[in-house]
Structure 1
Amino acid sequence: MDAQYDIVVSGGGPAGLTAAAAFGAAGFRVICLDPAPPVTERDADGSDLRTTALLQPARNLLERCGLWPRLAPHATPLQTMRIIDAGGDTPQPRVTRDFVASDISDQPFGWNLPNWLLRRELAAQLAELPTVEFRPGTGTRSLFTRTGEARVGLSDGSRLRARLVVAADGRDSPMRTAAGIGVRRMTYGQKALAFAVTHSVPHDNVSTEIHRSGGPFTLVPLPDYQGRPSSAVVWLDHGRKVLERAQLDAPAFEAEMTERSCGVLGPLALASRRTVWPIISQHAEQMAGERLALMAEAAHVMPPIGAQGLNMSLADLAGLLDLAEAAPQDLGDAGMLERYHRKRMRDVRMRVTGIDALNRASIAGAQPLRDLRAMGLGALHALPPVRQGLMRMGLGLT
């Protein structure tokens, strides 16, 4: 007989692990599945060297689920978001504007953690929850639904039954595909390099996004590494250039990235291996199907601008968790999932569209377009109500 759960979570990335922990803490019987075990060491093959800035609403959710005490000791607060336009003839700052958390709150904008460390701590939390089973090495393959339940086929040939399936299984989600839910996708010809660096100038908890052409170069604060200030870097550019840079020897790469950073933190030294990630925008045509809720990259994918990725995923989770806790007897039924779709779809479309526009502006290579971008940055920052409104919107507080 098929094993029975309240919730099957498909996907063991940060979003899926958080969903399993949240629903487990709320008293639901949960199983979380992923075809690959999580890589939980910084320098192990396959580790995710990107970082996530957990914004204020995300931290509130993590506190509610009992996760934040485990993550807080590893988190670096982000007090200032600095945007630099370096789109002149030479790679030098020509417009620098700071967006400061104290303008709108007594808390930092967010708290930065490496993705590999998030996986480590979240997996450890699941191991302590009696209501949750985490089964890495087993993926979801098929989905059959009817009014009262879902049946999920697994890669090991077994099947599960559940009242709700939560698809947090990536941009090529097998559960979304099985449900026949389509996606709308935009491509840019970009890729991203993600890696860690050390530098001579302290970052002072400032996240710095530098725009020139091809895409932003972003430095996000990390704890000191081997006694030196350290930051995570995400560097977007045209795909061919990214692949070429990924093959450079360390001295040549360090010289190129230091120039691209405009030297704002002094000479940069590579402090990890380099990983390459494709850049697209994508959102599902609906957030739910019969007995199925989409979240995270199964529902939306965006370029890494403005720390929206995992924070939008946790906004999905918060909305779904609210509905499940308000009426647990209705878990996974058509009414609950329709409310979830309505609650999240407008915000998803708005943010995907907004990040798409920002990324296209950051790609601009023609000088007149670079000049227009710099003028726009200065104008938006100069008006306090507009500046504060943008910050609140970015945090998901409006």
Structure 2
Amino acid sequence: MTTYSIDVTLSQTKKEKPQSDQLQFGKVFTDHMFIMDYTEGQGWHDARIVPYQPITLDPASMIFHYGQSVFEGLKAYVTKKEQVLLFRPDENFKRLNKSNDRLCIPHVDENLALEALKQLIKIDREWIPTAEGTSLYIRPFVIATEPYLGVAPSDRYQFIIILSPVGSYYKEGIAPVKIAVESEFVRAVAGGTGTAKTGGNYASSLKAQQLSDSKGYSQVLWLDGVERKYIEEVGSMNIFFKIDGEVVTPSVNGSILEGITRKSIIELLKHWDMPVTERRISMEEIKQAYSEGKLEEAFGTGTAAVISPIGELFWNNEKMVINDGNTGEVSQKLYDTLTGIQNGTVEDPFGWAVEVE
């Protein structure tokens, strides 16, 4: 097994840790961070764990001007047996490199990234909250750091991992959320960067999100960027519908992010011999299924929220209240199973949980 050289500098002062019942999402960060540099001709170098601190960049660093960056999101959990578990971290670092590919960023060694993450978590282990619904959120990201005002791939980068103890992503928790279907703005198109996890995708979504917030909706549901009729994904989640006993989700089409939770849900449903299909789904089909009483459930999936039941869809000035605004049976079973695997309370027949030893 390859041994990676990672320098460690421990913090001399420890931050005060928040109470579990006061945790918000992504507001507080642990005592340490991982950093590695890339220089053209030298490759990735100087892997190190250091005290959490600001980073200093030249004002001309290309990240500020051309947005060359990618990121990931995953979580660590503490089990009742005091084990620390990660959920499918190999899939996250594999997807990071897919995003790197699209943004012309050099690949990161996935094994080194996982080893660095494990070492970082071991150092900041006491930051992992243990209350129900809490976890340690992990944010790996890469930014272009070359100071150059030219439209070209950077020749310098930093790969950084930071950690944040978190509560529920939505204040509603597992309770159903309200979603507004977005008909004016577009998230992505095939051939664009929709399949990459890059900051620009989220920046361009903020206007629609701001407008939906003002109307009392938690997220927006994006439609395709060409015909504006086919469902793509929710702001921070992939989406599933249960229609007349069958679970359906939009097929990956070149503009939808390939969610790891999405992939896990499909594999779980197949494991349970429940009918699940990936295909094109139009809003008209959803409206018709709703009108006929066949739209039984809808839910979003993602690392941050895991499973987020959808209690209401707002489209064409009409509200569709799904399952009387309650969490559906399949949504609840998926949530219980997935979080159970993540927390070590449910058997993991897939080998998804990776222990930090």
TM value normalised by structure 1: 0.24
Structure number having the greater helix percentage? 1
TM value normalised by structure 2: 0.26
